[in-house]
Amino acid sequence: MTENRIVLNNGFILLISFISALGGYLFGFDFAVIAGALPFLKEKFMLNEYWEGFATASLALGCIVGCLTAGKLADKYGRKPGLLTAAGIFFLSSLAMAFSPNRDFFIAARFVAGTGVGMASMLSPLYIAEIAPTKIRGRMVAINQLTIVLGILVTNLVNYSLRNNGVEAWRWMFGLGAVPSGLFLAGALWLPESTRWLLKNGFQDKAGKILSKIGGADYAKDMISSVSLTKEKPVKLRYASVFEKQVMPAVIVGIGLAVFQQFCGINVVFNFTTTIFESVGFSQEDQLKQTIFIGIINLLFTLLAMWQVEKMGRRALMLFGSLGLAVLYLISAVLLQIKSPVAAWTLLAAIGTYAVSLAPVTWVLISEIFPTKIRGMAISVAVIALWFSYAILVFTFPILASKLGAYTPFYIYAVICLFGFWFVAKKVKETKGKSLEDLEDAFAGH
């Protein structure tokens, strides 16, 4: 494609990418709100370490259902209807969690919220990857990760501001999620459909109008021609298609990256900040302050990742992140074991390392490596693996911390990161600067 002579409408591209990435903001909200609310929930609902883990993991279990739903919905009806559905679920579940009368209702509402998170976690990066031009695709997909970390940071700030509002403060923490949910719903109504989905399903005129708005008539012509060359005979959509021999190499890489992003362990720092820092003597107020520091570091290094993802490339950042986390976890585990408050600094360094590498780059790669004809379903399979891994991670951490000490899991995560470094070095190819159509051949089983 001759993108070098194309003048892109960067304002329009940025706007539609940001609106679709509001799903990421709500992902960050539902992901982070539990950290500030847990001390209140444990007291309100008398949660032991098992119920604490399950209340946290229930979001991920809902995410699995959301991914299963979103994959078929996105491939059959388009990416936009899925984004609208996710937005509606976010809105209703935020209110349901806020008004929960008991533990079981709360967990059920958080499960429903998870279905929205699961749909958005799959559809937002998928939509952006399909509509963004090749040379800025990585940066645009990384906007999704930026909105996730903004959601985490803003939620942590709100949680901290509500800390002295009494034992029912947790209801406001969850209920305020209805505000960004409403904005996402309104924005998603305005979004155009994914141009690649439109072309794949024969809506060439509609796709052409959107592509012309993105980059002009020449860009539209080039894109339509490029996608048409890889357009294949329609196939019946079924999950078995994802595991066919030709696409299995890409699927193995996608699932491996998704599982590694969770089993690397960083999300226990996000979700169980209070538990971890309580073990080294921090007060409840200081524990909530740590969530803010974590959110700020997460944001700053995500911005760095957006700058570097098109320069250093995906593979180099993944290798740096996996090895860096392994080293920082070993140091953190020792410091937590001797109850040193310096562990706060090494864990912040781990957050920064993750934010510049595994956090955004995993989503970029998952959105890029699958063939067009099964991309929606393949991404959903990878993201299902991601959320299942997250559920295991957050369910087991409170139990391990209670039985073996908060430091022990970090030794385990360090070993997993070393295995992750090997996996990336062995299996992951660089995708920077390549069109989605070129990548179909790079990751195919030839």
pTM: 0.76
Distance CA 341, CA 124 (A): 38
Q: What is the pLDDT of residue 169?
A: 87
Question: What is the reported pLDDT for 2?
Answer: 47
pLDDT at 4: 52
256: CB partners within 8 A, 6+ apart: 423, 427
**Residue 318 burial class via C-beta count within 10 angstroms: exposed 0-12, middle 13-18, buried 19 and up:** buried
Give the rounded distance of the alpha carbon of 137 from its chain centre: 16
Taking alpha carbons only, the member of 258, 291, 275 closest to residue 397 is 275
Which amino acid appears at position 43 of this protein? E
Residue pair 31/168 in contact (Cβ under 8 Å)? The answer is no
C-beta of residue 106 within 8 angstroms of C-beta of residue 47: no
Indicate the residue type of 353: T
Low-confidence ranges of the chain (pLDDT < 70): 1-6, 227-239, 284, 309-310, 432-446
Neighbours of 248 (CB within 10 A): 14
And the tokens for 216? 């002009």
Q: Are 422 and 299 in contact (CB under 8 A)?
A: no
How many residues comprise the chain? 446
> What pLDDT does residue 442 have?
55
- Locate 432 and state its tokens: 């920077």
Report the 10 Å Cβ neighbour count for 425: 13
CB 185 within 8 A of CB 88: yes
pLDDT, position 16: 85
Specify the CATH number for 7-191+232-442; select among 3.20.20.70, 1.20.1250.20, 3.40.50.300, 3.30.479.10. 1.20.1250.20
Alpha carbon distance 342, 348 (integer Å): 10
Q: Name residue, tokens 């929205």.
A: 116
pLDDT confidence of residue 1: 46
- Residue 389, token pair as written in the block: 């891994």
What Cα–Cα distance (Å) separates residue 344 from each residue in 201, 291, 347?
51, 11, 5
What whole-number distance in Å separates Cα of residue 364 and Cα of residue 192? 21
What would the two tokens of residue 308 be?
């570097």
Of 388, 164, 103, residue with least CA distance to 255: 388
- Phi first, then psi: what are they for 162, rounded to 5°? -95, 0
Alpha-carbon distance of 409 to 49, in angstroms, equals 15
What is the Cα gyration radius of the chain? 21
Amino acid present at 376: G
Task: Give the CA angle between residues 399, 385, 250 to the nearest 5°.
Answer: 145
- Rounded distance between C-alpha atoms, residue 114 and residue 30, angstroms: 8
